[in-house]
Structure 1
Amino acid sequence: MILIVDDKIENITALKKVLESHNFVVDTALSGQEALKKILRQSYQLIILDVQMPDMDGFEVAESISGFSKTNDIPIIFLSAVNISKEFITKGYASGGHDYLVKPFDPDILVLKIRTFIKLYEQTLELSKMQQVLIDEIEQRKRAEQKKDEFLSIASHELKTPLTSVKGYIQLAEMSVQSNEKENALNFINRSSNQLKKLDTLITELLDISKMTTGNLEYHFADFNFEPFLDNVIDVILRSNPGRNIIRSGYADFFINGDEFRLEQVLLNYLSNAIKYSTEPHPILIHVETTDSNEVKVSVRDSGIGISKADQSNLFGKFYRAVQSSSKYQGFGMGLYICAEIIEKHGGTYGVESEPDKGSTFHFTLPLTNKNHNH
């Protein structure tokens, strides 16, 4: 769209007629102030400015346009019948004009110039977009490399910690056996076993990350009842954490179409995090309900350290660990990223509500199957 700015309606009418006859879309303004208001609201490909206008002349309008980042590249053509000296033409270019035509002018020449300036303007916009895309891509790659380096450092540390512990406990167990201290030996073997479980979890997570990156994480969908599934997951987590109290509420006797193994990963991750980040006397609350959208919603609530607003938006991202937990708790920062991937593959949603020092509630939803209507 082209904007014509002139305080004389007869000039606007004549010029508008010429441009519209060449299929240009035209807008008009009868003053500099009106033009600036329109420029801020509307997008234009080119502006034709009369130099001699009351209150605000064409040069002042051009300078204002050049001062706005949104509009500083829009080509401006000055038209003047009065100010035709070299001094005024120079001022026109200095104020941001791309051309200065003296009346009377050849309409064909004007149309040719307009087409050329619009083409250049569009090319400039396209180049700017490409430049921004390249800048963004370079920044994404830099961040990705940085996150990858951080992840490798974390992975190295996290895998080393249980391995070192296992090595130490086995040595202590050997010494206890040699000293005929059977009870101590069994205690150290149990501790080794717990560390090996942690190591197994970390390695499984690493393999899942690798498969996700290559798009090879396998899913086996089937209809299953959510009630026994939920009871089984809670039983698994309690066997690994016999001292903890998990309180369950809500109705779960309905069918889901999904991969039980993958969904078990999600729920175990939620429950494990709740246990990891909260103190022992407080129970973990798990609630299940159906929504108006024919979905099941599962929520896991803890009374732990909580999560800041800044961290919440990144929690389900790749390689991310909350600031307050990264130095104190084990993990790659990939568990919730894997959970997000699994829930998305099942057509569900996920999220978190939390406040620092007031605990967290992690939830996910899954669509129910049609089987429930016959159940």
Structure 2
Amino acid sequence: MVLIVDDRPENILPLKKILELHKFAVDTAESGEEALKKILKTNYSVIILDVQMPGMDGFEVATAITGFSRSKDTSIIFLSAVNTEKKFITKGYTSGGVDYLTKPVDPDILVLKVKTLHRLYEQQQELRATQDSLRKEIEVRKQAQEELSSRMQELRLVLASLPQMAFTVTTDGTIEYVNEHWFNYSINSKAFPLTHDDDLDTCQEWPSYLEKGIEFTREMRLKEIATGDYRHHLLRITPIKQQDALVRWVGTFTDIHAQKLAAETLEEQVATRTKELLLKNTELETTNHELQQFTWVVSHDLKEPLRKIQLLHDLIKERYLNGNPEAISYLDRSIRSSARLSKLIDDLLAYSQLARPAMFKPTDLKALLDEILVDFEDTINKKSAVITIDTLPVIDTIPGRIRQVFQNLISNALKFTRTNVAPIITIRAELVAEKELDSERCENGNFCRIVVSDNGIGFDEKFLDRIFVIFQRLNNRTSYEGTGIGLAIAKKNIDRHSGLISARSKIDEGTQFILILPTQQLGEPATN
């Protein structure tokens, strides 16, 4: 901004208009006193000052202005129509003016001078701002250097207290500081510890990490000077950065010799144990195969005399015991016991064969259930059972295994019925999102939830964990026939499908068996 000081408004107005035409901001004052008040509040780049004014003349005003620190970069141009002598011009320069013009003033010359002085003022302000910035930067760097020196001292104290070998490295890779443990493996502070020949490649890798400014971690063997033995160490060199600039590296050698020896011993023991387990596993597979064959042979050999016993009992009953109800009663008990034994052998054989390998394939559950119901047709008709099967999906299963599951569930629903109450069995399915019993229904879910419901005798849910355990029965044998193996077979088969099986029930209110099965099997059947 430019300040025009003149006691006559008619002199101020034309100068102000000329300067405003050249894009200068202009302020005015009609006395020296008014000018000094404005200078105390506002920074001006150029002051155009009339010499001849009442009260304080221009020279006195200029002398006062030069005493103000905030106006030390302001240029003063004197204007005078009367005082044109050399002594006045000299007084103008000595009182702080940079130019002395006599009236009438050439406007173009005045504008050029004001432009030049205004530009000089702006340059001085920029230079001063740069100087202030540099001064602050120097102060900040000085404080940072002092702080860095303090931190470096703290770092050295910490490194000196460590039980490991510790050192610092400059940005060009020169070792800067080492603690006392260093000298157990090195002859001086500048020499790298003696390294095993097989680990020299590790030392050659370090420069590339130095160049990239990233952490370097390696295991290596160092030669202990006192014993001459090589000991395993973990080397870790970490970059230390300040404001994203690398300032140094801090490294440590941690003695891991004992751990390394222990790990090597453990690896040898694991390798030995693995070989033993592989051998035992082979023997176990062979034994298991032989056991399956033995089970089948024994089952077959046991069933053959049982069939003969049952046949002979029937012949004796028909031919020789007519009219002897007591003998018939005893013989019927024997026949029923033989039948139970035969059923137990069949179930045991089925349970033992669950470990055999089998492949998954897409299975139409509705078609499979229709086939199963044909097998139960006589029982269904005899008990007037009502069986409802909703739409069931096609999913990946082992058909023979999943058939056993549904056979057991439907058989139980037809068996454990209430007196004089016709069985009502419902089988429904839906896709769900998660492998959880209460998962939300999802049209594109990866799991299928199948619910088999009946209106039978039910059971107390506190015994839920027992019903899937082999030979566990919740009802006495005299009321309901069975071997206690069926649900154990179902559980084992569902496990083979990587699924879930559970039940919900109340006494005399029926039972719901809930199955969760993957719709697609990605691998081999699970082993159990």
TM-score range, shorter chain: 0.3 to 0.5
Q: Which has the larger radius of gyration?
A: 2
**Please, what TM-score do these two structures have when normalized by structure 1?**
0.43
